[in-house]
Amino acid sequence: MVFLIIFQGQRLESPLADDPDTVINGHNNLLAYEDLGLVMGRSLANNLNHPLSLMFLQIAVIVLIARLFGLFFNRIGQPTVLGEMTAGIVLGPSVLGLLCPQLSSFLFSPASLSWLETLSNLGLVFFVFIVGLELDSNLMKNKAQTALVVSHASIVVPFFFGVCLAYFLFTGFAPEGVPFISFSLFMGIAMSLTAFPVLARIIQERKLTQSPLGTLALTCAAVDDVTAWCLLAAVVGIIRADTIMTFVATVVLAIFYILFMIYFVRPILQHLGNIYATQEHLSKGFIALLFVVLFLSAFATETIGIHALFGAFLAGIIMPSQIDFRNVLISRIEDVSLVIFLPLFFAINGLNTQLGLLNAGYLWLICGLIVMVAIMGKFGGSAIAARFTGQSWANSLALGALMNTRGLVELVVLSIGYELGILTPTIFTMMVMMALFTTFMTRPMLWFIERFFPDKV
C-alpha cells in the first residue's frame, strides 16, 4: 500500500514524472528502473568523494601508517614520534605523491583538507596543553643556577645563529613582502627550541630519570620550554602587528592576561583541585571545567594576537598541581590526542614538505648548512654552558645532545611560521629536515659519549 501511494504520489511532482528516465528537481526518480550495478557504482563513487566520507578514510590511513612507522622506529631505537613524523612526509608529495600520484591526489585532494586541518589544529592544542601539564614547577626550583645558565645559553646562542643565518637566506628564500625582522626573529626562535616531551621520554627509556644528568636535563628543558614559548608569543605578536602601537597593545594585553591566569584563575583551579582532584573518581563536571578553561585560554590568546597554542600551554601550566591528578588527566587526553589527532598534524605537515623542491645541489648544501648551524647553536651552546657551570665533559656533551632534540615542538613552530607566511615551501622543507635529523641523532650521540668518554654519564 505504501509502495502504491508513493508510486502515484510521484506523478504529482511534475507532468514529466511518467518518464522513468526523467530527473525531477535534480534527483533521480526512486522508482525508475536502472541497472543495479550502475546505480551501486554511481552511488558509491558519489558518496566516496563526499568530504565527510573522505575524511574518515584519511584518518584511518594516517593513523595506521603513523603507528606502523612509529613501531618500526621504536624497534631501531628511535623515539616513536620520530617515526610518526617520518610517516607524515611519506604520505605527502615527497613519497606517495611521487610514487602514486593518482592515489595521492584522490586521498588528499585539496577540497577535502579543510576538515583535516581543523582536526589537526585541535590536536596541537591538546598536545601543547599536555606539554604544559608535564612541566613540574618544583623541578625548575632544583639546580636553579645551572639550569638557568644552560637553558638560556641553549636559547641565546642558537637564536643568534638563526638570526645570522636569516641574513644570508633572506634575499633568496624569504617570501616576497615579508620584513627582515619577521623572518630573522622567526628563524632565531626556530633554532632555539627543545622538544621537552621527546626529551623526557628518552630520559625515561634510558632510566636516567633519577640520575643527576636526567634531573638536570629535564630542568633545563622545562626552563627552556617556558622561555621559548614566551619568546615565540612575542615574535608572533611582532609579526602580526601592523604598527608599533599594535605590538605595544598586544604586549600589554598579553601581560594582563598572563597575570590574570596566574593570580586569579590558578588559585581557583588549585582550590577546586584540592576538593576534586584527590577523589578516587574524578568528577566529569570538574574535567569539563578544565577543558572550558583550556579552550577559553586558547581563544583569548588567539584574539590577543599571540596564537592559540600559547594559551593552551599556559592553561596546562596553571592546572591543579597534584602530580597524580595531572598524570590521570594526561593519560586521558593522550589516548585520543597523541594516537589520532597528532598523526593528522604530521600528515598536514608532510603535505607541506616537498623534498622535490630541493632539486639542485646548492639547495641541499644550504639544507646541510641549516642543520650544521642548528647543531652548533643548540648542542654547542648547551655543552659549553654546562661545562662552564662545573659539569664533567661527558655530562656536558650528553646534556648538549639532549637539548639538541627538537622533535614535534619544532614542527609545531614551523607550522605556525608557514601559516603566517613567514616561511616559503622550500625553507619550510629544509627546516623540517633539520628537525628530523637533530632528533634522530640524539640517541647515537648519547651512545657515542657513553662509549668514548672515561667519566661515564
Arithmetic mean of pLDDT, 183-190: 91
Residue found under cell 563513487: 45
> Pick the residue with more confidence: 243 or 356?
356
The DSSP bridge partners found for residue 28 are 23
What one-character DSSP code corresponds to residue 262? Answer: I
Q: How confident is the model at residue 279 (pLDDT cuts 50, 70, 90)?
A: low
- Model pLDDT, residue 266: 92
Retrieve residue 280's grid coordinates. 578516587
Q: What is the pLDDT of residue 217?
A: 80
Q: Quick one: 151 exposed, middle or buried, by C-beta within 10 A (0-12, 13-18, 19+)?
A: buried
How high is the pLDDT of residue 434? 93
Q: What topology is assigned to 86-452 in CATH? A: Na+/H+ antiporter like fold (1.20.1530)
> DSSP string spanning 191-211?
HS---HHHHHHHHHHTT-TTS
Q: Which residues contact 69 (CB under 8 A, 6 or more apart)?
A: 83, 84, 86, 87, 90
**Confidence (pLDDT) at 109:** 81
Q: pLDDT at position 278, please?
A: 66
Our measurement of the distance from residue 286's CA atom to the centroid of its chain's CA atoms, rounded to an integer in Å, reads 27
pLDDT of amino acid 26? 47
Beta bridge partners of 27: 24
Largest CA-CA distance found in the chain, in angstroms, rounded: 95
Closest CA relative to residue 154, chosen from 142, 143, 162, 166 = 162
| Mean pLDDT value of segment 396-413 | 86
pLDDT classification of 39: cutoffs 50, 70, 90: low
Which has the closest alpha carbon to 192: 393, 414, 388, 40? 414
Is the pLDDT at 28 greater than 60? The verdict is no
CA-based radius of gyration for the chain: 26
Residue 199 has pLDDT above 80, yes or no: no
- pLDDT at position 392 is 84
pLDDT of residue 450: 82
Percentage of the chain surpassing pLDDT 70? 87
Instruction: Look at the block and give the residue holding cell 578514510.
Output: 57
Coil vs helix vs strand at 402 = helix
In this prediction, residues 7-27 reach a mean pLDDT of 61
Which pLDDT band holds residue 166 (cuts at 50, 70, 90)? very high
- Give residue-wise pLDDT tens across range 423-453: 999 999 999 999 999 989 888 888 888 887 7
- Residue 17 pLDDT > 50, yes or no? no
* Least confident piece of the model among 69-73, 278-282, 306-310, 316-320: 278-282
Q: What is the mean pLDDT of residues 34-47?
A: 67
C-alpha cell at 49: 568523494
Helix, strand, coil percentages, rounded to 5, for the chain: 80, 0, 20
Reply yes or no on whether the pLDDT at 33 is more than 70: no
**Contacts of 319 by beta carbon, 8 Å cutoff, 6+ apart:** 132, 133, 269, 273, 290, 326, 329
DSSP-derived letter for residue 27 is E
- Contact of 333 with 129, CB cutoff 8 Å: yes
